[in-house]
């Protein structure tokens, strides 16, 4: 069996028989998104490391409070979804998942963007929305393949200049933070078309002053001209 879905409103733990399925590639233990259910599992066992062939692990909408260090042994893992749990931290070993390209962490209890994420060179989709993150480490520049970054509903007051080095970004959602300014080099994110496609980039719910929202709506050239004019003053 290569794919397994385990469901149940009273799901408290991973059945031990699962860890004997060494050829398993997809393991899903999340309720259907439309159901608004939440499972009761609080701990992902260390034995998860036995499933060395896993490529996808779906653990959304449980009550997970800890991810074991053994997650780092899943060298084939490409997609990991942990949204809607109770995680306050991630193990450093998550930085060893070099094939991981999609990581969902929305709606947990994280207070900062975990530094090990910056080691994930294959990451293309990172969702850390609604975690009350208040800062982004400059080391985010190492995620050079990142295409989608969702940071909605956090407590960000600013962005590091290093964000402007993520030249492959196509989608950047910054809504409902505390941003008052953007880095001067923000216009260099040329694959964003925030002035023309709301789904590509949005600042809604931020008290932006520098540059003001009407400048942002004009896209990269508008932002470039705005900061150029400030330098001339």
Kindly state the average pLDDT of the residues 120-138: 92
pLDDT in tens, 53-108: 999 999 999 999 999 999 999 999 999 999 999 999 999 999 999 999 999 999 99
Query: Residue 46: which of 88, 1, 14 has the closest Cα?
Result: 14
For residues 231 and 130, the model is more confident at 130
The domain tally of the chain equals 1
User: Which range is least confidently modeled, 2-16, 84-98, 147-161?
Assistant: 2-16
Q: Is 90 exceeded by the pLDDT of residue 49?
A: yes
CA 218, 223, 225, 229 torsion-angle sign: positive
pLDDT in tens, 179-192: 999 999 998 888 88
| Mean pLDDT score across all residues of the chain | 89
What's this model's pTM, rounded to 2 decimal places?
Answer: 0.89
Residue 130 to residue 46: CA distance in whole angstroms: 27
Give me the DSSP letters along the chain: --EEE---TT--S--GGGGG-TT--EEE----GGGT------B--GGGGG-TT-SEEE--SS---B--GGGGG-TT--EEE--SS--S---GGGGG-TT--EEE--SS---S--GGGGG-TT--EEE--SS------GGGGG-TT--EEE--SS------GGGGG-TT--EEE--SS---B--TTGGG-TT--TTT-TTTEE-TT----BS-HHHHTTHHHHHHHHHHHHHH-
Residue 67 to residue 91: CA distance in whole angstroms: 7
Residue 104 to residue 52: CA distance in whole angstroms: 20
Q: CATH number for the domain including 219?
A: 3.80.10.10
Domain that holds residue 18: 3-231
Residue 111 to residue 80: CA distance in whole angstroms: 20
């Amino acid at each position: 069996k290569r794919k397994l879905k385990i469901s149940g409103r009273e799901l408290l733990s991973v059945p031990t028989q699962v860890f004997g399925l060494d050829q398993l590639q997809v393991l899903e233990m999340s309720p259907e998104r439309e159901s608004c259910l939440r499972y009761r599992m609080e701990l992902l066992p260390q034995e998860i490391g036995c499933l060395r062939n896993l490529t996808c692990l779906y653990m959304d909408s449980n009550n997970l409070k800890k991810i074991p260090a053994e997650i780092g042994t899943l060298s084939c893992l490409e997609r990991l979804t942990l949204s809607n749990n109770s995680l306050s931290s991630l193990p450093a070993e998550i930085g060893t998942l070099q094939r991981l390209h999609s990581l969902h962490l929305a709606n947990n209890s994280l207070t900062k963007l975990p530094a090990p994420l910056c080691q994930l060179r294959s990451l293309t989709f990172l969702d850390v929305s609604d975690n009350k993150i208040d800062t982004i480490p400059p080391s985010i520049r190492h995620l050079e393949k990142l295409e989608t970054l969702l940071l909605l509903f956090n407590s960000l007051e600013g962005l590091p200049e290093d964000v402007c080095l993520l030249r492959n970004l196509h989608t950047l959602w910054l809504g409902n933070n505390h941003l008052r300014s953007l880095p001067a080099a923000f216009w260099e994110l040329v694959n964003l078309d925030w002035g023309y496609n709301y789904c590509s980039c949005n600042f809604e719910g931020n008290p932006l002053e520098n540059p003001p929202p009407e400048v942002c709506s004009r896209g990269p050239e508008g932002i470039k001209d705005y900061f150029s004019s400030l330098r001339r003053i």
